[in-house]
Amino acid sequence: MTPSRQIPPAALMLGAAGVIPFAALALLIAMGGAGLIAPEQAERMLRLYGALILSFMGGAQWGLSTALPEGPKARALAVSVLPALFAWAAFLIPTGPGLLALSAAFLALMLYDLWTVRRGEAPVWYGRLRVGLTLAVIASLGAASLAT
């Protein structure tokens, strides 16, 4: 993997754009829908978006593993499918616990991602990007959970 520490601008901009729905929906939930949407609908949308993005982040690990010169590692492939399964379960449970479960899963996946960076299985910039974005996602999910 590339030793570069600089986050590619496109990855940074698209990653930040991906945080916008988390923050916007959390704000709508905290404001009781702000007359724009039913609070329950905003909660469901946030759980769904969180589940989708968690699944996507698991897929990123699949991609990183398949790009290794020595080929994919069974461990990484197995770990890459767990976020989708967990996200599906978190979407099916009530909002408060579902948002907390998603928060915990984003944190766990970030820690795994950082571990893969230390092992040289992911670029250094990827770990730096994941920390900032994940903390923003967890803050949004936590705020929404407190507001429900």
Tell me the average pLDDT across 1-14. Answer: 83
Contact 91, 113 (CB under 8 A): no
pLDDT for the residue 33: 85
Tell me the average pLDDT across 74-88. Answer: 94
pLDDT for the residue 2: 44
- The whole-model pTM stands at 0.91
Model confidence at 75: pLDDT above 60: yes
pLDDT for the residue 69: 87
- Residue 87 CA to residue 125 CA, distance in Å, equals 25
Tell me the average pLDDT across 118-142. Answer: 96
